[in-house]
Chains A and B, each alone.
Chain A
Amino acid sequence: MSDRLTTSKVGLSLAIAAVLVLAACGSSTQGAKPKTYTGTLTFASFNPFTGPDASFGPEMAAGCIPAANTINQAGGVLGHQVQCIAVDTRGDPADAVPAAQKMIASTENLVGMNGPSSDEALATVPIIDRAHLPMFADSGQAAFDKSTYKYFYRLTPPDDAAGVAMAIYAYNKGYRRGAAVFGNDLSSQGNVPNLLTAFAKLGGQIVINQTLTLDQSSYRTEVTALVAASPDVIFTEADPQTDAAYLSQLQQLHGLIPVIGTQPTVQPPWIKAVGGAVGRDALSKNFAAAQPFSTSQGPAWDVYNKALLAAGSEVPQPDQWSQDPYTETDYDAIIIMALAMLEAKTPDPSFYNALIPAVVGNATGATEVHSFKEGMDAIAAGKKINYVGAGGPIAFDEYQNSTGAFELIGYSTNGSNPQLAVVSAEDIAKLRR
Chain B
Amino acid sequence: MQQLIPAFGFGLITASILAIAAVGFTLQFSVTNILNLAYGDIMTACAFAAYLANHAGVNIWISLVVGALFGAVFSMLLNRFVYFGFVRRGTRLFGMIIVTIAVSLIIQNLLLAIFRPTFFTYEASQGPSYQLGSMVFTASQLAIMGIAVVAMVCVHLLLTQTQLGKAMRATATNPGLARSCGIPTDQVIDAAWLVSGALCGIAGVALVLNTATFSETTGAAFLVPIIASAVLGGIGQPYGAMLGALTIGIAGETAAALMSPAYKDVVAFVILIVVLLVRPQGILSEIAAAKEVAA
A and B together in one complex? yes
Q: A residues touching B (Cβ–Cβ < 8 Å)?
A: 50-51, 54-55, 184, 210-222, 224-225, 228, 240-241, 244-245, 248-249, 252-253, 268-269, 272-274, 276-278
B262 nearest CB neighbor, chain A only: A211
Known contacts A184-B262, A252-B126, A276-B120; A218 and B213 CB within 8 A of each other:
no
Are B212 and A244 in touch, CB under 8 angstroms? yes
Known contacts A213-B262, A218-B10, A252-B138; A54 and B212 CB within 8 A of each other:
no
Are B7 and A224 in touch, CB under 8 angstroms? yes
- Which parts of B1-49 form the interface with A (CB within 8 Å)? 2-3, 6-7, 10-11, 13-14, 17
Select one of A50, A222, A228, A245 contacting B261, CB under 8 A: A222
Are A277 and B17 in touch, CB under 8 angstroms? no
Select one of B3, B117, B211, B253 contacting A245, CB under 8 A: B211
CA distance A244 to B122 in the complex (A): 13
CA distance A332 to B240 in the complex (A): 59
B136 at the interface (CB under 8 A from A): yes
Are A220 and B262 in touch, CB under 8 angstroms? no
A304 to chain B, nearest CB (A): 25
Shortest 7 CB-CB contacts between residues of A and residues of B: A276-B121, A273-B119, A277-B212, A220-B10, A248-B212, A244-B213, A221-B256
The segment out of B76-84, B159-167, B215-223 that lies at the interface is B215-223
CA distance A125 to B214 in the complex (A): 32
B257 at the interface (CB under 8 A from A): yes
A270 nearest CB neighbor, chain B only: B119
B17 nearest CB neighbor, chain A only: A217
CA distance A215 to B224 in the complex (A): 12
CA distance A258 to B279 in the complex (A): 48
Contacts of B253 in A (CB 8 A): 218, 220-221
CA distance A274 to B126 in the complex (A): 15
B260 at the interface (CB under 8 A from A): yes
- Which parts of B82-137 form the interface with A (CB within 8 Å)? 112, 117-121, 126, 129, 136
Are A241 and B129 in touch, CB under 8 angstroms? no
Known contacts A224-B6, A241-B215; A212 and B119 CB within 8 A of each other:
no
Are A211 and B260 in touch, CB under 8 angstroms? yes
CA distance A178 to B200 in the complex (A): 40
B210 at the interface (CB under 8 A from A): yes
CA distance A253 to B11 in the complex (A): 15
A to B CB contacts below 8 Å, 5 in the list: A214-B221, A220-B253, A222-B261, A268-B118, A277-B213
Contacts of A274 in B (CB 8 A): 213
Contacts of A241 in B (CB 8 A): 119, 211, 213-215, 218
Contacts of A225 in B (CB 8 A): 3, 256-257, 261
Known contacts A210-B261, A215-B221, A269-B118; A221 and B6 CB within 8 A of each other:
yes
Are A217 and B257 in touch, CB under 8 angstroms? no
CA distance A210 to B14 in the complex (A): 20
Are B211 and A228 in touch, CB under 8 angstroms? no
Are A240 and B119 in touch, CB under 8 angstroms? yes
Select one of B119, B214, B262 contacting A269, CB under 8 A: B119
Are B119 and A222 in touch, CB under 8 angstroms? no
Are A276 and B119 in touch, CB under 8 angstroms? yes
Select one of A215, A217, A224 contacting B210, CB under 8 A: A217
B286 at the interface (CB under 8 A from A): no
Contacts of A249 in B (CB 8 A): 212
A90 to chain B, nearest CB (A): 11
A228 nearest CB neighbor, chain B only: B3
B230 at the interface (CB under 8 A from A): no
CA distance A272 to B2 in the complex (A): 35
A57 nearest CB neighbor, chain B only: B117
A9 to chain B, nearest CB (A): 59
Contacts of B6 in A (CB 8 A): 220-221, 224
Residue in B13, B118, B265 whose Cβ sees the most chain A Cβ within 10 Å: B118
Residue in A212, A221, A252, A277 whose Cβ sees the most chain B Cβ within 10 Å: A221
Q: Annotate B204-237 by CB proximity to A: 1 below 8 A, 0 otherwise.
A: 0001001111110110011000000000000000
Q: A241-B215, A273-B121 are in contact. List 11 more A-B contacts (CB 8 A).
A: A213-B264, A217-B207, A220-B6, A220-B7, A220-B253, A221-B257, A241-B119, A244-B213, A248-B213, A269-B118, A276-B121
Contacts of A273 in B (CB 8 A): 119, 121, 213, 215
Contacts of A220 in B (CB 8 A): 6-7, 10, 13, 253
Are B136 and A244 in touch, CB under 8 angstroms? no
Are A244 and B119 in touch, CB under 8 angstroms? yes
- Which parts of B250-295 form the interface with A (CB within 8 Å)? 253-254, 256-257, 260-262, 264-265
Are A276 and B261 in touch, CB under 8 angstroms? no
Contacts of B214 in A (CB 8 A): 241
Known contacts A218-B253, A276-B121; A213 and B14 CB within 8 A of each other:
no
CA distance A225 to B207 in the complex (A): 22
Contacts of A211 in B (CB 8 A): 260-262
Are A216 and B117 in touch, CB under 8 angstroms? no
A202 to chain B, nearest CB (A): 26
Known contacts A211-B261, A253-B136; A272 and B118 CB within 8 A of each other:
yes
CA distance A184 to B256 in the complex (A): 14
CA distance A273 to B216 in the complex (A): 13
Are B211 and A217 in touch, CB under 8 angstroms? yes
Contacts of A276 in B (CB 8 A): 119-121, 212-213
Are A221 and B119 in touch, CB under 8 angstroms? no
Contacts of A252 in B (CB 8 A): 126, 129, 138
CA distance A240 to B257 in the complex (A): 23
B33 to chain A, nearest CB (A): 28
A144 to chain B, nearest CB (A): 25
Contacts of B222 in A (CB 8 A): 217
Known contacts A213-B264, A245-B213; A221 and B121 CB within 8 A of each other:
no
CA distance A212 to B136 in the complex (A): 21
Contacts of A272 in B (CB 8 A): 118-119
Select one of B7, B120, B126, B211 contacting A221, CB under 8 A: B7
CA distance A252 to B131 in the complex (A): 12
Contacts of B212 in A (CB 8 A): 244-245, 248-249, 276-278
A267 to chain B, nearest CB (A): 11
Contacts of B126 in A (CB 8 A): 252
A91 to chain B, nearest CB (A): 12
Contacts of A219 in B (CB 8 A): 261
Residue in B2, B17, B256 whose Cβ sees the most chain A Cβ within 10 Å: B256
A278 nearest CB neighbor, chain B only: B212
A243 nearest CB neighbor, chain B only: B213
